Structure 1
């Protein structure tokens, strides 16, 4: 194997999944694999599990990430905290820290803990000090009024702890564009649409070849902190929360009051649900249940948080969403700790729930075209990546604007990391970096 400095590393840290790719000077690129349960995995689930183990006379907090975090969580042999979708907190000024057992964790603590587990399982091929480490970032971070500068400060602090102080940060759809551009045999203007768990990002790129060298010019970018997790939110909000007390009432000081909705807003967001057990929400919900007119639904709500059923709920919701991409209806079912929620969901219902979200995504596509000063008919190819691109309402958006023949897609997980690694092998990787 050639010296590590000849290789470049591309890191796609995603809301749901993380992928690392390594590219060599010969243009060959491959994903870092993780051996787990007899399988070679190219995708490392973006999740953390903390638990306590006794050492001598005291307790020591242990942590695992990726599929090992899920394994540890499902085994349930120790008191634990399971955290997922924490990337969504990156640009949130209101997220200061979360308490896990005896320690407080800021966002950069969570991210660096996650990256250390990834490095441990990734083996020696992952060189954080490589000449070119290229890290993806959204065009716009998720959350209400996201603070871009804060997010990048947190990214740099977390990756710096592992030795990647000199890493470059590149828009995620630009990475996807580089991956796709290898297929081009002629000049083309391309729209790249990258749908993650927390953000939807769009880049318009002009690709050309001169003397056999591929050249790329970014024309315009736009992004919105809304994607697959927002669609999950709609399913939870319409199907699950009403069966857990949403819309119910309680009595206080002789008055009948509505159960506050903010508990259900947190419950329907995977990143917030992961934190409810460690916040004051659980205590407040128990107090509400004591005075609720119908306490049973609230008690089920409490059990989901108390018994860490959030991951099982995530799987049930994701399964229903995926099913609706290929079928006109599906049967939703979530079970655990005596809770059994079943409901038939039609694609028409789901599309009515996400209609406003899709409209906002469509407006962001238009914004990217406007910034690039390009009309839809001037886009030769539209490259779609990310699981949400399979949602029929999303695909229809692009078919209506660009026509089905101009749409193409690739592996929904690996394309961004591959492209980021390839940028590290380009003539001037720095020109693709985002100023911060």
Structure 2
């Protein structure tokens, strides 16, 4: 068997798994000692050239976050790069006077991630298998553009064999290693930007695992969407959403679209240079509650988007085990505090869950599979911990058929295991 590397380049986190010629898969660590992580936050920070000795310096993961927080100079902080890959509207962004297209940003992230990783990504002797969602995130995603951008970025690393595999297929393959009997498996992969489904029939011929794909589907709703609901309900009213301004002798609502980019994490890195932001600043003098808009502008100017993202994401995580939690965010004021109940949160995301359920309906229908035909359901990805999501699957398939585990590493493990097979090309998109 050929050595392979599985790369799960995620919206929120990136995971790498290496599979040796004996078929042993090992999730790689980034960093050393107590700083080592196996799930690398998909963030990229460029330090201004003057502060880094004349050259822009890129950093990733927790080191990028530290550089962003501790630097006294200018930084360019980017997150959720994957969300831009299928968008024709994204033409690139400037970083200290130099234009970076998507491929440049992905290359910068992966090169620094490789330098931090115990297994460098540029080993040309290995086959590289990278995951891709069934449905890319965005309002009008272009799959062909996304794959073209991926290929151009990865071509800069010297790999001879590069395969693309649907992320839920990889997760299904990793889960199938546990099976002791033939089974029809539904995998629901809840990422940061997308929720993807895969239905597969697994069987064994001797020691060899055989699989038949029955259907795939997905939708651009996942963890980031649920975070947005909290920001929209709890944070944005303090920043001016729902307020009014005067124009031509009339009172009008401040356009809500001026706030949506701040609440969508992947847009934070480009919002400060956007036309929406410029319009908001021009509107300030006419606002009836200017103190709220001033606070909003201050948060943008001081790059508080990522700290807000962390505060909201952590609150959402606590709601998976608590019926109520407190959200604090000091930049909104030392006394700012909001109580969020799980019941409220579940009401806010109800329409999103209905759309996820609809995407699941379509996936099973396209696969000609009924609920009763599914033997096992594997829930993976960080958002699979949200109780309302788990209840959706329990109600439909029963708790006995549900499985979890390796929520952050199953995709990368499956990619690597597929990569070392002789028939790896048959699994690729």
TM-score bracket for the superposition, by shorter chain length = over 0.9
User: C-alpha deviations, 1:269-298, integer Å up to 9, x for none?
Assistant: 001122112324433322222221110011
Give 1:82's match in structure 2, choosing from 61, 77, 90.
77
Match in the other structure for 2:344? 349
- Of 64-73 and 5-14, the range deviating more from structure 2: 5-14
Count the aligned residue pairs: 429
Q: Does 1:19 align with 2:15?
A: yes
Q: Do 1:191 and 1:202's aligned partners in 2 also have CA atoms closer than 8 Å?
A: yes
- Of 211-220 and 354-363, the range deviating more from structure 2: 211-220
C-alpha deviation, 1:125, in angstroms: 4.4
Give 1:204's match in structure 2, choosing from 187, 190, 199.
199
C-alpha deviation, 1:124, in angstroms: 5.1
Change (3 A) 1:426 1:109: same
C-alpha deviation, 1:44, in angstroms: 1.2
Unmatched 5+ stretches in structure 2: none
Match in the other structure for 1:265? 260
Match in the other structure for 2:416? 421
> Root-mean-square deviation (CA), in Å?
1.7
User: C-alpha deviations, 1:362-386, integer Å up to 9, x for none?
Assistant: 1111112112111111111101101
Match in the other structure for 1:103? 98
User: C-alpha deviations, 1:401-432, integer Å up to 9, x for none?
Assistant: 10000000011111100110000122300001
Match in the other structure for 1:397? 392
Match in the other structure for 1:375? 370
Give 1:408's match in structure 2, choosing from 395, 403, 410.
403
C-alpha deviation, 1:36, in angstroms: 4.9
Q: Do 2:191 and 2:222's aligned partners in 1 also have CA atoms closer than 8 Å?
A: yes
Give 1:167's match in structure 2, choosing from 158, 162, 183.
162
Q: Do 2:127 and 2:160's aligned partners in 1 also have CA atoms closer than 8 Å?
A: no
Unmatched 5+ stretches in structure 1: none
1:14-413 counterparts in 2 under 5 A?
14-36=10-32, 38-54=34-50, 59-123=54-118, 125-164=120-159, 166-336=161-331, 338=333, 341-413=336-408
C-alpha deviation, 1:255, in angstroms: 2.6
Q: Do 1:13 and 1:136's aligned partners in 2 also have CA atoms closer than 8 Å?
A: yes
Q: Does 1:8 align with 2:43?
A: no
C-alpha deviation, 1:38, in angstroms: 2.6
CA distance, structure 2, for counterparts of residue 328 and residue 130 of structure 1: 50
Q: Do 2:324 and 2:342's aligned partners in 1 also have CA atoms closer than 8 Å?
A: yes
C-alpha deviation, 1:123, in angstroms: 4.4
User: C-alpha deviations, 1:212-234, integer Å up to 9, x for none?
Assistant: 21111111000111100000010
C-alpha deviation, 1:256, in angstroms: 2.1
CA distance, structure 1, for counterparts of residue 335 and residue 96 of structure 2: 30
TM-score (norm 2): 0.96
Q: Do 1:13 and 1:19's aligned partners in 2 also have CA atoms closer than 8 Å?
A: yes
TM-score (norm 1): 0.95
SS of the equivalent of 2:378 reads: strand
Q: Do 1:48 and 1:66's aligned partners in 2 also have CA atoms closer than 8 Å?
A: yes
Q: Do 1:240 and 1:341's aligned partners in 2 also have CA atoms closer than 8 Å?
A: no
Change (3 A) 1:128 1:359: farther
C-alpha deviation, 1:145, in angstroms: 1.6
Q: Do 1:15 and 1:87's aligned partners in 2 also have CA atoms closer than 8 Å?
A: yes
CA distance, structure 2, for counterparts of residue 401 and residue 373 of structure 1: 17
Q: Do 1:98 and 1:278's aligned partners in 2 also have CA atoms closer than 8 Å?
A: no
